[in-house]
Amino acid sequence: MSTGGSLLEIEDLSISYLVDGIPLRGLRGVSLDLARNRILGVVGESGSGKSTLSFAITRLLPSNARIDEGSIRFEGQDLVKADMTTLETLRGDRIAMVFQDPLSSLHPCLTIGQQMSDAQRAHRRIGAGERRARSAEMLDTVGIAEAEQNLGRFPHEFSGGMRQRIMIAMSLLLQPDLLIADEPTSALDVLLQGQIIALLNGLRERLGTAVMIVSHDLGVIGEAADDVLVMYAGETMEYSPVGQIFAQPLHPYTEALLAVMPGRKARGRPLPTIPGRVPSASETSLGCAFAGRCERARSVCHANRPVYSAVGERRVRCHIYDPLSGWHVAPETGQREGAPT
Amino acid sequence: MGRLLMIASVLLLLLVFLSLLIHLVPGDPVQIIMGPLASESFAATVRQEMGLDQPIPMQVLGFIAGALQGDLGNDFVSNRSVVEIIAGVLPHTMILAVSGLGLAMAIGLPLGVYAAVNANSMADRVIAAISITLITLPPYVAGLLLLLVFSVGLAWLPALGAGRLDEPLDYLLRLVQPATALALGWIGYLARLTRASMLEVLQANYIRTARSLGLSKRRVHYSYALRSAIIPVVAVLGVGLGHLLGGAIFIEVIFSRPGLGSLFYDSIATRNFPVIRGSCIVVATLFVVTNLLADLSYRFLDPRIRVEGAQ
Amino acid sequence: MSDAHASLALSGSRTDGLLRRLLRLPGPAFGLAVTLVLLFLFLFGPLVASHGFADQDISARLQGPSFAHLLGTDHLGRDLLSRLIYGVRIELFVAVPAVFGGLVLGLMLGLPAGYLGGRVDALVLVILDTLHALPTVVLALTLLALLGNSLANVVLVLAVSLAPSFARVARASVFAVKHGPYVDAERILGASTGRIMLRHVLPNIIPPLFLLMAMHLPTAIAVETGLSFLGLGVRPPTPSWGVILADGFDRVRTAPWAVIWTCLALGVTTLGCTLLGEGLRDVLDPKLAGSTR
């Protein structure tokens, strides 16, 4: 676990969504550290809370979301307590975001040039000419030729891969310290995925930017990230350097994820899936969130919530790695039918 | 192309309808127009002037041919050409309608944006209540109430006449009340429409992107969101000008303004058919043309449609 | 016919819930209250009114509100409140048949257009667009100038002006139901086109059109009053609100009361009817939102 030079420190963050007055689970006690010049991959199925996490950092959550507790410290400043002006100053300038679907994420009625110019104007007092020059330069950096002409085009006039490059160019205009990319490649084919990942990697090396990539695809994370955070039902399950997580996964959920990861040669066959389903956001369990689907679950797993404990430089939320949890002494109960509520 | 064809057929049908108007009612057209008291010689003049002595198909063709060449016939009372009469008063009505619509946009759009941005707040509810009240207020009621308050009660504004264009200040002062009266209903309507449209746009991903780039709230709402939200509003404005011309009849009568509306009203009261016909054609043409303009600006505002149109 | 019965039965069973949902919001509740008052005055107006609508009291002309005349009197010394109350009858006598006439005319255009499609549809669309190109008031005034301004003609003219709106909704609804199972079955069994349209398509498209009738009632009242105000609708001895307004407007500088009260009555009426109509629409058929005006 990297210490000292942390750019982003999230501690015990819990978020809920109010739907018809009833709070639904968003995040439950999420903690993470991210240092400069590192790429963190956040992986999980849909409903795991990984998008909630990425939007929470810049406080771009939907209006019915509520931060119940915890802190999000960016360079020591707690963004949970920050006011709108502070957030607007940070967004785009220090912390930038890249979104999943670049077509719907770019304004359809404004040219690329206008949107890139507005992004700079929000933070820097520079003239229109210089803004345009910088925009063109950044398009060039992300590998878009004829940058000058392309600035005058509208988003729908580009291909999907080009649009994602444009999104990335826009987010990097002001050389942010932290880049959050929410499923940056899920709308793209494999070839383009690789290009985008290479692009992010190159930029990280050149600018020293910290990057957080959020994806449901462990393959993407494996290629791009230095460290991996595995999320499940709004909780962090495992945190590991990328090499170790593939070689020796700790959490049974990570194991299951690796088992169903589509191999290159398995394409065309039906994808294997983890049996059972992610508990819905209204279900709360006393025990481990994954217990209902876990092959190694014992009674303690249904009764007590495991702590997020350190195993070397890695961290894991599982009773198996906690000698005091009682998992090792309790009799084997096998997999139980359905999760207790 | 399909659209232009539609416009052409609408205008053609209208011309046929208007030229047959007099024959739709049983009885001698001249009698209907002049009333039973008309002298025989005058009736004959009118009959000839309006071409009523010709067979009906010839009348229709003659009228359409004339209209296409910009000739809408002569007013048999003053013996001036109908086009000339209408051209004399049309500027007053256009100024009234355009300033009414402008006023409605200047107030209605920001109200709608504010309501959408503060959805379900107290302010939103107040704006909604004001909007529906304004929408249901008939234009003549709006005109009469303004007249009562500002001309009769407070005596701040001159009530009667349009003034002269070479005295701009006086003209403007006399324009305030009629234009406001026309605008009120549209303020409510535009506020409602803008609110609904904004609420939809504010959910869009690109709004989240704009916020993620650190653009100020004001800029996100009034520049990014409104840029898209205004598109359906503009489509309605085309129809709006047509409706305003209808309301202008009441407003021009109430405030004794010269204009197309009061001209039409006078010609109805005196059953001056050439002028009625001419006014109808001009109003319908304006309606069709503004609709077309709205459609074109719609394309201009949304580049995605622009591309489809070009292909 | 059975499908129509089914939908009627369905709406019957949820009537109590409907009323509760309608009254939950202040707008529709206000609208319902206004409508009930109007209905009461329509039925029992002559019993409520303190004076006859034509009773003149030359000694008390153009007076402000007093105990003898709660809202004041007009230029012939007639009681304004009583005239406005009698006026409710005229308004509804004109507006209700006008809206119904609009429905019938609209169906005559929209039903064949939607069902037959093709050239019939194209022709109807051109007719609708042509009618639409003239503002309601212009169209109504032109027709009135031709026909002469009697009460019946006002109704007719209003019906013609409202017809396009009904026709459009009818046409669109027909598109939605014309390939329903009942219609297809009848067609296979060899039923005539006319029979299918009237027996099977019509009952299924009527509910949204009834709702549209409710939404157009305030429009009809407003336009009728406007026409009468211009002196081209209902004629003077009849106490239409437009006539009262026109009388008041002639003397607005010296005696504004007639104009004030009539404007108030009109404003509250159109607002109330619209709120009730929109409330009903939101509860019954949210799809219809935006199809009016």
pLDDT in tens, C8-22: 444 444 556 677 777
**Amino acid letter, A241:** P
Which pLDDT does position A271 carry in this prediction?
59
pLDDT confidence band for A264 (50 / 70 / 90) = very low
From B169's Cα to the closest Cα of chain C, the distance in A is 25
Beta-carbon separation of B253 and C231 below 8 A: no
Instruction: Look over chain B and give the mean of its residue pLDDT values, rounded to a whole number.
Output: 81
SS3 C76: coil
Residue B242 dihedral angles phi and psi, to the nearest 5°: -60, -45
Average pLDDT over residues B50-60: 72
Tens digit of each residue's pLDDT (9 = 90 or more) over B201-240: 998 889 999 999 989 888 899 889 998 888 888 888 877 7
Instruction: Look over chain C and give the mean of its residue pLDDT values, rounded to a whole number.
Output: 77
Average pLDDT over residues A102-124: 90
Beta-carbon separation of B136 and C135 below 8 A: no
Q: State what percent of residues in chain A have pLDDT above 90.
A: 21
Tens digit of each residue's pLDDT (9 = 90 or more) over C93-126: 888 999 999 999 988 888 888 788 788 888 888 8
From A79's Cα to the closest Cα of chain B, the distance in A is 14
Average pLDDT over residues B8-28: 77
Tens digit of each residue's pLDDT (9 = 90 or more) over B263-290: 888 888 877 788 888 888 888 888 888 8
Nearest chain B residue to C133, by CA: B284
Q: What span, in angstroms and rounded, lies between the C-alpha atoms of B47 and B32?
A: 12
From B224's Cα to the closest Cα of chain A, the distance in A is 8
**Disruptive mutation site among B205, B213, B311 for chain A (greatest number of A CBs within 10 Å):** B213
Average pLDDT over residues A68-91: 90
Q: Which two tokens stand for residue B245?
A: 């011309």
Task: Give yes or no for B262 touching A (CB within 8 A).
Answer: no
Beta-carbon separation of B219 and A118 below 8 A: yes
Residues in B closer than 8 angstroms to A60, CB to CB, are: 208, 211-212
Among B91-95, B109-113, C3-7, where is mean pLDDT lowest? C3-7
From B190's Cα to the closest Cα of chain C, the distance in A is 12
Tens digit of each residue's pLDDT (9 = 90 or more) over A277-320: 777 777 777 888 888 888 887 788 888 888 888 888 888 888 88
pLDDT confidence band for A136 (50 / 70 / 90) = very high
Quote the radius of gyration of chain C (alpha carbons, Å): 22
Task: Give yes or no for C142 touching B (CB within 8 A).
Answer: yes
The model's pTM? 0.81
Question: How many beta-carbon pairs below 8 A join chains B and C?
Answer: 118
Give chains near B: 3+ CB pairs under 8 A.
A, C
Give chains near C: 3+ CB pairs under 8 A.
B
Chains C+A touching (3+ CB pairs under 8 Å): no
Residue of higher predicted confidence among B158 and B133: B133
Average pLDDT over residues A223-250: 89
Average pLDDT over residues B195-206: 91
From B307's Cα to the closest Cα of chain C, the distance in A is 27
3-state secondary structure chain B: CHHHHHHHHHHHHHHHHHHHHHHHCCCCHHHHHHCCCCCHHHHHHHHHHCCCCCCHHHHHHHHHHHHHCCCCCECCCCCCEHHHHHHHHHHHHHHHHHHHHHHHHHHHHHHHHHHHHCCCCHHHHHHHHHHHHHHHCCHHHHHHHHHHHHHHHCCCCCCCCCCCCCCHHHHHHHHHHHHHHHHHHHHHHHHHHHHHHHHHHHCCHHHHHHHHCCCCHHHHHHHHHHHHHHHHHHHHHHHHHHHHHHHHHHHHHHCCCCCHHHHHHHHHHCCCHHHHHHHHHHHHHHHHHHHHHHHHHHHHHCHHHHHHHHC
Q: Cβ(C50)–Cβ(C66) under 8 Å?
A: no
Residues in C closer than 8 angstroms to B147, CB to CB, are: 252
ipTM beyond cut 0.85: no
Give chains near A: 3+ CB pairs under 8 A.
B
Beta-carbon separation of A154 and B303 below 8 A: yes
Which pLDDT does position C251 carry in this prediction?
76
Query: Does the pLDDT value for residue A86 go beyond 80?
Result: yes
Average pLDDT over residues C45-66: 69
Q: DSSP letters of C209-276? A: HHHHHHHHHHHHHHHHHHHHHTTSSS-TTS--HHHHHHHHHHTTTT-THHHHHHHHHHHHHHHHHHHH
